[in-house]
Structure 1
C-alpha cells in the first residue's frame, strides 16, 4: 500500500555535485532560445533522471506524463528573460493574509475588502502582493491546506484573487512539504484507497529519527489507524500537517498540476513554503538534501517553460549559509528570504550599535545574476532565531530575548536531537519590538521603527512589507488567548471602519507610519541605485551609525544609505564616506542640498539619510 523510498543516507560529494555538472553540460545561454520540447529534453529530463533514476522508477514514463501535463500550457516565449530585466528598483511587495482587514457588515468578501484597501491606499506605493495561503485549511492559519485548487469560501473566490492579480504582481504559496490531515489525499490514506494511500511516509515507530532537524517540539511521527493497522506517518510541523512522499513521482505530478493552475490564475511569484524539508532519507537530517535542491531546479524549469517572467521564492528559515544554498548555481530560487535580516536589524537598534549587522553584511555575497534577496523585517511568522546562530554573542542573545519578552513578545521553542528545547522564533509585532532599547522602553518607538524599515528597503534585494508593519499594529494578546497560538500575536485582523478612522487621524501611529513609509517607498522606487542587483558596499563608520553604499548598474547614480541607530543625535563625518566629486550631493529623505566644503552631516535620533549625487525624482 505504501511506497516511501527511504534509502540509507550518504553524505553528498560536492566535488561531483549534479547541479555543477549539469550547468557545464547545458549552460543557460545555450538553451535559452530553443523550442520548449528540446528544452525539456535538455533541462527537465536530466533532473527527473537524477531524482527518480536511482530509485528504479521508469524515468521515461514520468517524463511523458509531465510533458502531457505541460503541453497545453507551454509558452511561446521560450527565451529566458535578461536577468537584469527580471525586476527593478520599482518592485516592492506587501505580505498579508486575505482577511487581515474585515468589514463589520460582512457585505463583501475579505479578499474584496483587501482589494479596496490596496486600491485606495497602496496602489501607487506597492507593486506586488503576497496573499498568504487563501485555500481551505484546517490549522496553522492556512498552511495546513485541505484543497490546493479552491479558494477558501470564507475569503472569497478566484475572481477576487484575479482582481488583485490584475493590479499587483501576485505571490502565491505552494505548500509542498505537507498537507492537512483533513485533505482528501490523507483521508484516502486512512482508508487504504488510491491515490492517497501511496502519498505519505510511514515508518516503524522504533526507527531512530533523533537526527532529523525539527522546527517544532511535537513528536515527528503521528499514529494513524488504517486498514493495515496503526501506521506512524511523518509530520515535520505537527500532526495536522502530514508530510508528503515525493519519492513517489505521482506526488510530484499532482503538484505540477497545481503549479500550472496557479500560474494560469495570475501568480507571478511562487513561494515554496518550508521547502528545505521536502525529501526524507533515513539517517540524514532530512533538510537541504540533494534531492530537494534538484526538485527545486525541476520546478524552476517547468515554470520557465510556462511563464518565463514568473519567479520562484524559497522560504527556508535556517542559518544564513544554509539559506544561501537555495540560489543553487543560478538554477534554483530566483529569490531567497533574507532571514538573518530581521533579528540583526532589531538587535542593532536594541544595542544601539552596528557591529554585528555590519559584520553579517560584509559576509553576504552579492546575489548571483538573475537572483535576488527577498528582504523583510516582519512576516506572519515569528522572528526566526536560527539565522542568528554564530552571529550574536551569548549575552546579547539573552538580552535580545529578554527585551522581546519585556515588550510583550512570546518565545516559541523547537526540539533538539538530545531532547532539549531551544528558541526557534520570537513572536511579536515588529512595531512593539521597537518600543525601546536594551535600556528599556522610551518615547522613540515610531522613529526607531521607521529606521528599521528604511534600512530594510535600502539594502540589495527586493523589499517586502508585512501589512502590520505598514499599519503600525501592536501585539494582539487577545488573539493569542483566543487561539492558543503564539504566532497569533502578529496576525491581527483590523476592522476596516476602525482602521480608516485611525488612518484619518493625523497623529495616530497608523497614520504617521503609513504616510511616512509610503513617501519613502515611492522615493526609493525612483532611484536606480536601489535596483535589487545594484552594487553594495558596507561603510566603516562609528558604531552608532550603520551605512552602506549603493551604485546603479549603469554607474550613473550613487546613494550613501546612512542610519542613526540611537536615540541621540549623531554626526557623520563626510570624509568617512569620501563624499567628493564634481556633482552636487543631496539627502533625498530630508530634501536638503549638501553644500560644497561641508564636512559634517547631522542625523537626529533614528534618522536615515539617502545621500546621492543624482536626484531621479521626488515623491
Structure 2
C-alpha cells in the first residue's frame, strides 16, 4: 500500500465506489512492484517518494476520461494486443505527413486502408526554437508545436484514431530537456531545487573524469559530453547537444515529474510511449553511463505507476544497444517481462542491409542465434528503415563466427551504402564519421539505399526490378519476423532521397533529413492506377504482404523466429513454432535463382506446403526447391494451415 491513509485520500479524490475499488485492486497488483523498484533506486527515500506519488496517481486516476477507462478494461482482457498479427505500425512526422494534427486526421482513411493500427507521430511536443535535434530537445511536455496545432487537437486526433482501432504513439524524451525548458530556466536563475534536476559541475574535475569512459554520440557537431553555461555558471552534462541538458534521475523529484507527465499525456489519449534515450538515464563514474542497473528499476517503476492508473498504456524502449544489453529493456532476471512492453530490434534492420549488400546471410543467422529469448509477453518493434541513421551495430564475435572480420565488414557496409564500393547499387550519405573509431553511419531512404534511385537515373529496367524486389524482400522479413512492423512514411510509395534538406538552415547540418521527405499525396492518389511504375509495384507488393500477415496467426509475437542452418549462404531460413504448427520462412537475398534441397523443408513441413504469400502449394517430395532472385516464402505444412 502506498499510504496508510489511503481510504481518506480516495475519499478526498472524489472517486466513486467503483473507481475507488479499481484503484485499490490495481494498487494491490502493482504497488509491491512499484515499492520494490523505488527502494532499489532511492533507498531510504523510497517511503517519502511513495507517499508523494500517491497524490500524483490519485489525481490522474480521477482525471482519466470514461472512454479511456473502457480502453483500460479492454486491454486488461486482451493483454497481448501489441503482439497480434494484425498490429501494423506506421511512423511519420505529422508536419511532413499532413501539415498539422488536424491534417493527419483528414488522412485516416489512407492509414486504415493500409491496415495501420499503431500510429507513431514523431516528436511533436513543443521543442526549443531553431535547432532542436529533430524535435528531441523538448521545451514543454504539456504543449504541442505551435505549427502543428494544440493539445486539444492532439486529444481529438487520439480520439478519432481510437475510434478506428488505431493507437497513438508519442515520443517521451526521458534523458534530457531543452536548455529553454522551465526547469533549466529556473536552474540557470539559481533556484537550487531545479539545479538539482540536472548534472551541474563548478569546474572540469568531474567532467574530465567521466569523459575517460564516455562515448560521443555526435562527434561531428557535438563533441564531448559537457558544455559550460555562462548563466548557470557551471559545466552541464549534455550527452547529445549543448542545448539538451541531461536530467539527474538520482533526484526523486525528476521521477515524480515524469510520472505526472506520462499520466497527463495518457489521459490525453496517448496509448504507447516511446521512451527516448532511455539507456542514458543513470550516470556512473568509470562507465559508459549507459545500461546501468538503475535504468531498468526506474523503467519498471514508471511502468508500475502507469499500470495503476492507465493499464491500457504500453512502453516502448528506444534502446539502440548491443543484443546482450537489449534484453534488459524487456526484462530479464528479476525484471522479466516487467519493464518495457516493446523494444526496437535494431539488429534485424542492420542485418537486412548487410545481407542485401553482401548477398550472404551467414552473419544474419549468427546474429540471430546470439539473441537470447525475449519474455513471451513482450514484442519487438521491427523496421526496414526509421527516421534515424543506420549505425553498423555488428559485433566482432558474430562476424568471426560467420568467417568475417567485424571492422572490415563494417567498413565495407559504410563504403557500399555511401556508393563508394565498386558495383554498389545504393545512394546514401555518410553521417557522423568518427575518425578515432572509423565508424561511419549512413543516411538514406529505403528506396535509395535499395538501388531504386541509381536504377532510375541509369534508365535500366533490370536494375529497377532488382531494387523493387529488394524493398519487398526486406519488408517481407520485417512483417514475418514476429513483432510490430513499423512502416516508415513514404516507404509504401518507394520515395527517394530528398536532397532539398540542404536548403533548410536548421536541417542543413544533419543529413538524416535526406530520408525525412514530405509525403507525396499526389503520388499516393495515383499509385494504384499506375501498377507498372516502381511506386505502384512496391505499393501493391507491400499491401499484399500486409494482408498475408494479417491472415496468418502463426505470426503472433509471443512466438520467436529462430534461424535454421542454411545450405546456401544466400538464403535465410527462419522457423516459428506456433501451436497451430511449424512455419518456415525462406528468403533469397540475391538476384540469382537458388536450388534448395527439398528434404530440408520436407522434414519440417511434410510432403506439401502452402506459401501464405503467393497462395501456391509446393510439393516438397522433389529433390530441390527452386527459389527465384529475392523470393520470399512463408511456408506452412498443408495439413496445419491456420
Alignment TM-score, normalising by the size of structure 1: 0.85
Change (3 A) 1:262 1:396: same
CA separation in 2, counterparts of 1:325 and 1:369? 14
Paired position in structure 1 for 2:204? 205
Aligned residues: 571
- The alignment status of 1:282 with 2:269, answered yes or no, reads no
CA separation in 2, counterparts of 1:79 and 1:434? 39
Shift of 1:354: 1.0
Paired position in structure 2 for 1:302? 305
User: Greater CA deviation, 578-587 or 356-365?
Assistant: 578-587
- The alignment status of 1:225 with 2:230, answered yes or no, reads yes
Paired position in structure 1 for 2:86? 90
The answer as to whether partners of 1:137 and 1:146 remain within 8 angstroms in 2 is: yes
- Give the 5 Å matches for 1:5-404: 35-39=25-29, 41-53=31-43, 58-74=45-61, 84=80, 87-102=83-98, 109-138=99-128, 139-156=132-149, 157-158=153-154, 159-167=156-164, 168-193=166-191, 196-203=194-201, 204-207=203-206, 208-210=209-211, 211-217=213-219, 218-226=223-231, 230-328=233-331, 329-388=336-395, 390-392=397-399, 393=405, 394-404=407-417
Shift of 1:317: 1.3
SS of 1:147 mapped into structure 2: strand
CA separation in 1, counterparts of 2:126 and 2:245? 16
Change (3 A) 1:77 1:65: farther
Shift of 1:486: 1.5
Paired position in structure 1 for 2:439? 423
Shift of 1:378: 0.9
Shift of 1:255: 0.7
CA separation in 1, counterparts of 2:389 and 2:641? 36
The answer as to whether partners of 1:586 and 1:615 remain within 8 angstroms in 2 is: no
SS of 1:37 mapped into structure 2: helix
Task: Supply the RMSD in Å over aligned alpha carbons.
Answer: 3.0
User: 549, 552, 558: which one pairs with 1:527?
Assistant: 552
Change (3 A) 1:222 1:582: closer
Shift of 1:497: 3.3
SS of 2:168 mapped into structure 1: strand
The answer as to whether partners of 2:139 and 2:178 remain within 8 angstroms in 1 is: yes
The answer as to whether partners of 1:34 and 1:78 remain within 8 angstroms in 2 is: no
User: 471, 496, 504: which one pairs with 2:493?
Assistant: 471
- The structure in which a higher percent of residues are helix is 2
CA separation in 1, counterparts of 2:79 and 2:607? 31
CA separation in 2, counterparts of 1:480 and 1:616? 54
The answer as to whether partners of 2:601 and 2:620 remain within 8 angstroms in 1 is: no
Instruction: Give CA deviations for 1:411-450 in whole Å, capped at 9, x if unaligned.
Output: 23376xxx9354263211122111189x999441110111
Shift of 1:391: 3.4
Shift of 1:274: 0.7
Change (3 A) 1:284 1:581: closer
The answer as to whether partners of 1:587 and 1:612 remain within 8 angstroms in 2 is: yes
SS of 1:589 mapped into structure 2: coil
The answer as to whether partners of 2:580 and 2:640 remain within 8 angstroms in 1 is: no
Shift of 1:214: 2.9
Paired position in structure 2 for 1:10? none
The answer as to whether partners of 2:605 and 2:636 remain within 8 angstroms in 1 is: no
**Which structure 1 segments of 5+ residues have no match?**
1-31, 103-108
CA separation in 1, counterparts of 2:46 and 2:294? 15
Shift of 1:59: 2.6
Change (3 A) 1:557 1:117: farther
Shift of 1:476: 1.6
CA separation in 1, counterparts of 2:168 and 2:638? 32
